[in-house]
A and B are shown apart, each in its own frame.
Chain A
């Protein structure tokens, strides 16, 4: 039978605050275990949580960017369960009145655009980290992360392929990073995604049984895990079996999902309003004030890059891929108003080096000013485009100014007619056959001759000048 897949996504985004959601412990990643805790996040009796204002503002800004309705009356609730990484025996979360509801993100898959509806986004605190080592008789707990603010963003079951999920996730990640509310690092777990998916016979309205996938920490694994799970469920159904409602863990080494077996009880969270926290009330004025702090979002910036700079859509997409890159590009264009030339350099030479080094455009060793000086050297014909491309890796690695590199290496372009004439004469003398062909009307040979001149000049000859002089000589 033919089945169609229905996918919804839960994303947990760690908010980029300095301190935790309800206490003043820091939120750094990678510190020694249990060095970032206090009586509040350790769940000591008698302690009281106090809401981090910045986390609330980040949640509202994200909600606005995702076209959500912002709830004016907010309550925090306790989600009760026992687990070693949860010191209080409950997680402070939001249940009935989440901070954001009913938003939408438009994604593009192939040529088609499709809105993915956001059901809700709510604030909560993260749990600690359990460490299970193979062979060890017990587990260990590190509570550094316990209490870190999270925004859980839940979609409606609007996606119907792994590609749509990846497109949505990329768009969401980009938006969060533009807003500077999350660093988007999936490997370190600052952005975690849990797809839930079910199959149903094509044409059937009712959803099939839902399976939740966990332990996915890259875009690649999102796609692989979903595709694996679709195959697995199709096979079970085709063999007349039933899908169990369960959570499955992605195993990236084996490339498969497996039932998560834990000793935990059946989920029954008994949510109730947290009596330790007074309600959170978001006035329309405050919400509007936060709206004014929203940056230009990736989609809008992309459209502006096409409209204002006349860039191809592809360039605009690549350049707005990260806020840092888009900022870099615009800094260059302000100094050197030839957008397409700048775009070619940023997307080509610069991006190649940045990707190789795994560095963000914000930390590029070649500043926009330096890149522009290089482009100006080409513009003024001090060096050829070819030389500029050749010295770029050195420019990147050495931190030297382009002028200095050109001078040290003696790469200044030769435009002097006397010097060029000498080389041209030699080339004409050596390539008798081609010269005859050209003179016989085969003009395409000119390119070959120009190439020979460039070669003998060590790439330093000014190609425009060479062209001009060569034509004159050959005619004469």
Chain B
């Protein structure tokens, strides 16, 4: 399966990764090779086999609907690079119209 440089660029963008032109080139080759290898699985007959989303046999692990105390605001914000008035401060999200 061919992964183009454009595919790599797109995926990198979605993952917020900045990569160089040379890296794009290298990754497109590597990823193509990996996916081609994995593609062998397609030769298996999987008709009637349910997709496996988990190998655990457990189902229905629940919590009862009870609220417990939360973290203090101080603790919640402890890792925030920037804060403002009890909030996480982030770069402006909506552009000015």
Contacts and interface: CB of A to CB of B under 8 A. Distances in A.
Interface in B5-37: 10, 13-14, 16
Interface residues of B, number: 38
Contacts of B59: 278-281
B85 interface: yes
B42 interface: no
B67 interface: yes
A37 interface: yes
A382 B58 CA distance: 70
Contacts of B70: 25-26, 35-38
Interface residues of A, number: 54
Contacts of A136: 92
B56 A130 contact: no
Interface stretch (A233-241, A262-270, A369-377, A447-455): A262-270
Contacts of B97: 258, 261
Interface in B37-89: 53-54, 56, 58-68, 70-73, 76-77, 82, 84-89
A53 B85 contact: no
B15 to A, nearest CB: 9
Contacts of B10: 268
A340 interface: no
B63 A51 contact: yes
A132 to B, nearest CB: 5
Contact of A140 (B58, B68, B71, B87): B87
A447 B11 CA distance: 86
Contact of A37 (B13, B76, B92): B76
A441 interface: no
A414 B61 CA distance: 71
B63 A142 contact: no
Contacts of B85: 33, 140
B11 to A, nearest CB: 9
Contacts of A261: 94-95, 97
Interface of A: 17-19, 24-27, 32-39, 42, 50-56, 75, 80, 82-84, 130-132, 136-143, 258, 260-263, 265, 268, 270, 273, 275, 277-281
13 contacts: A34-B86, A35-B73, A35-B76, A42-B71, A50-B63, A83-B93, A84-B88, A138-B91, A139-B90, A139-B91, A143-B76, A278-B60, A281-B60
Interface of B: 10, 13-14, 16, 53-54, 56, 58-68, 70-73, 76-77, 82, 84-95, 97
